[in-house]
Structure 1
Amino acid sequence: MAEVAGRLTDRVGLGVLTRVVTRDLVDEVLVETCRREKRRRLLPARVVVYFVLAMTLFFDDAYEEVMRKLVDGLRFLRSWDEDWQVPTSPALCKARARLGEEPLRELYRRVAVPLAGAGTSGAWLAGRRVMAVDGVQMDVPDTPGNDEAFGRGTSHQGLDAPYPKVKVVGLAECGTHAIIDAEIGAVTDDERELARELLAAFDPGMLVIADRGFFSHEFWREAAATRADLLWRVQSGLKLHVVHQLPDGSYLSRLMTDIERQRIRRHRARGLDTMPEGVAVRVIEYEITNRDSDTPGPIRLVTTILDPEQASAAELAAAYHQRWEFETSLAEIETRQRGSYRVLRSHSPAMVRQEIWGLLTTHYAIRELMYHAADLEGCDPLRLSFIRTLRVAR
């Protein structure tokens, strides 16, 4: 191939996904993570990055077939280098190991930002960007390394699960399904501990929704300190006394630890004036009569939005159920992009994490494409088909 045309490996790309994952960005990340080569290789680091992204799009295909799809279109551009052959699977495995997980992790964190504009349907409440925190578990190959790093958990029958499992907790934009930050851990890791690593992505102007599994007094206070507004479900047994009833049916209360409650009781027993303890919250309680639930009773939410004129109890209750939009995002990765009941490819913990960062990056790139396509047509991005867009990307 003539030198003016450039090397084949300089031309490798991912079609529409290079809109987000540009060659220049990949090169910047490789330099920052010290993965840029000092000598030419059959598989340069940039090509391996695109290969990892491609294998998360073509989950059913073997390594060599993924690489063949990645470069086959170049034949029609008359830019195929006859001296360059599709590498073997062992060579591709070694190239992945040489690259490591850091470039894919950094690439994801560089590209994944909120997408919704001011007019995006379902993306805003009272001027706040509606976000959600949730987690998912994925099966990984049954190897000693994966078993030791991630654990297995238990099946519904109480037996050890057939495969080790990795846990991913993420922060997503409800109006676009874009997952903008994530943390990877073992199946035994507490979701709150993983979610704590996401607090750096909480910004003022966000309304962050979470299910009751994420609530604790300590974590609530840490999350509220980011100045993002919160709307979390809490356990029905949590003690929340009515401090002030509000006209929309919600009420103001204070979140107090047991130690704070004991301090108040001691002060009152001594006849001392008590200063307000705990953290001020607003409580919304409501019933959904036609739901199947293993926990009967009202749904109870707490929020940092104390003024009902900013967001009514009905609006906040409706917003909470947008948390399921994140469930849909996770399902897109689990059952559409990866495939139902599929085990990830990677046989070592580092490669598992590399693969997941690749999955998250390609999912975000597809969602970014869908958002801009919907924006051009003036429609809701959630009304577009993820699977059809995935086929376009493929």
Structure 2
Amino acid sequence: MARTEATLPGGARLADYLAVGYLALNCSLGQVKEALTKCGVQTRVRRDMPREVLVYFVMAMCLYPRVAYEEVFRLVIEGLRRIYGDQVRDAQVSKAAISQGRARLGWQVMRELFARQAAQHPRTAGGDYAGYRVMSVDGSTLDVPDEKANAQAFGYAQGGRGEAAYPQIRFVALAECATHALCEVQMGGVCEHSEQALTRQLFPAFSDDMLVLADRLFYGYDMWRDAVATGAKLLWRVKSNLRLPCEVPLADGSYLSTVYASDTDRRHQCNGMQVRVIEYCLEGVPDAEPQYRLITNLLDAAVAPAIELAALYHRRWKIEEMFDEIKTHLCDGKKVLRSKTPDLVRQEFYALMLTHAAIRRLMYEAAQDSGQHPEDLSFVHAVRVLNRRLPEAAAVPP
């Protein structure tokens, strides 16, 4: 049975061309050329496959994960011509030629374009708490083709039933809870990179206007210390066995405590960091755990009452919804990425993140136009009707 459809079911529609057109308007030809030049992979010889077209091809490949390379490439050429006209020249290519072109393109340019897209996403009104932009950190995995090079580069996850069937990449993301917009992402092999190690690579993206939520698997003294040093406010769940004696009880039921790097430091009361502890349970909620423990560096209970922080923490699940958008809806339920070499896996991964960011920006713009909140709009609907606002936009120059 073929892994991909040779053509789009029912043939290419105007909406398919406009979907490519939206990607090109959101990530303009000028921006693509700048990124190609910065990464040193711009088109140098006219007979070469245009690198600009390859960038849009890799993004479109994420929108059409079940369609053959040649058909997606043709769709990209026609879609781009509807915006850029003769700036996009024709190219009749084979699957092998596309793969070779992707290899020459590399993955760094997709990473650069994602970083630019993430930096441009506007802050959402109504998504803040106490003046802070509410963010969440979490991790997930993606399967990649079972090729020798991928296995060597990324490894296989180990479970109770033995080794996984496919090599996997692990990634962690920093996302805005209100819009599911990705602000930063880091990826690596599942064997060599833990979620905690990858999360450290997110810290340069933390800022003093953020309140960052994280699950209990992320806490460690060094991790907490380094995250606090970024200037961000933190609200992290911690494990029940972490020693957090009540030192100063507060009126809202929370209390101040101190975390230490080691028992020796605790005995000598040195190198400690003051935290505020919030303990609560969710009565009447099915499958709720007996108790939740959060720590924060928001120490003033008058500014951030415990009951509000407890409710706020559960916005962390928004990042799980964002992962579902990427893995289920954007990938159309396809369980394994398409790329068969490590560098092309990285390229496809960052293209996937870039495409998700583009769709989320479309949803933000649609919400602004309609007076709705982005959370009220359907990601699935946005993926399927990218053409909804495009006919008038197709005339916009690059």
TM-score by length of 2: 0.87
Contact between 2:18 and 2:79, CA under 8 Å: does it hold in 1? no
Q: CA deviation at 1:158?
A: 2.1
Q: What residue in structure 2 maps to residue 145 of structure 1?
A: 149
Q: 1:125 aligns with which of 124, 129, 133?
A: 129
| Over 6 Å off, 4+ runs | 74-78
Match of 1:98 among 104, 112, 136: 104
Report if the CA contact (8 A) 2:21-2:83 is conserved: no
Q: Which residue of 1 aligns with 2:168?
A: 165
Match of 1:386 among 354, 365, 379: 379
Change (3 A) 1:213 1:76: closer
Q: Which runs of 5+ in 1 are unaligned?
A: 1-10, 265-274
What amino acid is the match of 1:160?
A: E
| One-letter identity of the residue aligned with 1:292 | D
Q: Which runs of 5+ in 2 are unaligned?
A: 1-16, 388-398
Query: Are 1:353 and 2:346 counterparts?
Result: yes
**1:191 aligned onto 2:195:** yes
How far is the alpha carbon of 1:75 from its aligned partner?
Answer: 7.8
Closer, same or farther in 2 for the Cα pair 1:260/1:305, shift >3 Å? Answer: farther
CA distance in 2, matches of 1:106, 1:85: 25
Counterpart check, 1:212 vs 2:216: yes
| Residue identity matched to 1:15 | G
Report the Cα distance in structure 1 between the residues aligned to 2:131 and 2:194, rounded to whole angstroms.
32
1:152–1:163 contact (8 Å) kept in structure 2:
yes
CA distance in 2, matches of 1:223, 1:333: 26
Give distance in 1, aligned partners of 2:282 and 2:120: 31
Q: Is the 8 A contact 2:261 2:271 kept in 1?
A: no
Q: Is the 8 A contact 1:210 1:232 kept in 2?
A: yes
1:22 maps to a residue whose letter is S
Instruction: Give CA-to-partner distance per residue, 1:212-270, whole Å, 9 cap, x none.
Output: 11110001000000000000000100000111111111111111122444542xxxxxx
Number of residue pairs aligned between Structure 1 and Structure 2: 369
The match for 2:235 among 220, 231, 236 is 231
Report the Cα offset of residue 117 of structure 1.
Answer: 3.7
Whether the aligned pair in 1 keeps the contact of 2:53 and 2:76 (CA below 8 Å) is no
Report which stretch shifted further, 359-368 or 370-379. Answer: 370-379
- Indicate the RMSD between aligned Cα atoms, in angstroms: 2.4
128-137 or 30-39, larger mean C-alpha shift: 30-39
Following superposition, the deviation at residue 104 of structure 1 comes to 0.5
State the Cα distance separating 1:187 from its structure 2 match: 1.0
> 1:354 and 1:309, CA in 2 relative to 1: closer, same or farther beyond 3 A?
same
Q: How does 1:313-392 map to 2 (within 5 A)?
A: 313-392=306-385
Q: Which amino acid aligns with 2:363?
A: M
Task: Report the secondary structure of 1:172's partner residue.
Answer: strand
Indicate which of 262, 269, 273 corresponds to 1:279: 273
Amino acid at match of 1:180: C
The CA distance in 2 between the partners of 1:340 and 1:12, in whole Å, is 23
Residue 240 (structure 1) aligned with residue 233 (structure 2): no
Counterparts of 2:83 and 2:368, CA distance in 1: 32
How many angstroms does 1:154 deviate by? Answer: 2.7
In 2, are the aligned partners of 1:116 and 1:176 still within 8 Å (CA)?
no
1:26-77, CA deviations, whole angstroms, 9 ceiling, x for partnerless residues?
A: 1111111001122113411111111111101111101001112112357879
The answer (yes or no) to whether the contact 1:116–1:175 under 8 Å persists in 2 is no
For 1:71, the aligned partner's letter is I
1:60-96 CA deviation, whole Å, 9 max, x = no partner?
1010011121123578799689x94431100000000
How many Å separate the matches in 1 of 2:329 and 2:131?
Answer: 33
Amino acid at match of 2:190: V
How far apart are residue 393 of structure 1 and its match?
A: 2.9
Report percent identity of matched pairs.
42
